[in-house]
Each structure stands twice: as C-alpha cells, then as structure tokens.
Amino acid sequence: MPYLDPRGMPLSPGELAALRLAASGFTSKHIAHRLDTTEQGIHLRLKAAAVKLGARSRTHAVVIALRRHIIRFDELDLNEPRRTA
C-alpha cells in the first residue's frame, strides 16, 4: 500500500525509491542512473515528494520521511562508496 501523507496524497513508488536513495547520500545523477531515468525525472520525483510531505527542500523531505517512518534506515544503501557529481 502506498504511503498517504496527512492530506491523503499518496507517494508513488518512484518518489519513495528516489527518497530512499537521496537519504542514502546519492546525487540526482546517481539516483537517475540507479533508477534508469533522467536527472530531470529525479528532480521532479523529489519535488513532488517534498510537496506531498509539506517539505521545504529535498533534505527536509528526507528528514520528514525518516521521522514518519515512510522510509527506514534499514532500507537505505549506506555501504556503497559515494562519488561526487
């Protein structure tokens, strides 16, 4: 079942996947590569998730998602080496 924010707007599977990877520290470029889409598509997914969560930024959306247990630390990919974009 998709997560419903307090206003009843569901986060899509793509928005959740992008949030998980953003929380893991990946750049939009790397998230796009991992999800086989474009950077613009990732920006749109993260912006839509932020709006639905009432967040002011991508980082704020990640924090809200973690605090509300929409995404969990055990779902994050924290073991891969990070590359800067």
Give per-residue pLDDT as tens, 27-68: 999 999 999 999 999 999 999 999 999 999 999 999 999 999
Reported confidence tier of residue 76, pLDDT bands at 50, 70, 90: confident
Percent of the chain as helix, strand, coil, to the nearest 5: 55, 0, 40
- Whether residue 81 is predicted with pLDDT greater than 80 in this model: the reply is no
Residue 77 is predicted with a pLDDT of 79
Sign of CA dihedral 77, 78, 83, 85: positive
Segment among 8-17, 28-37, 73-82 with least mean pLDDT:
73-82
Distances from the Cα of 78 to the Cα of 13, 15, 25, 33, angstroms: 20, 19, 8, 17
Q: Which residues have a Cβ under 8 Å from the Cβ of 20 and sit 6 or more positions away?
A: 71, 75, 76, 77
Using only the alpha carbons of the chain, give its radius of gyration: 12
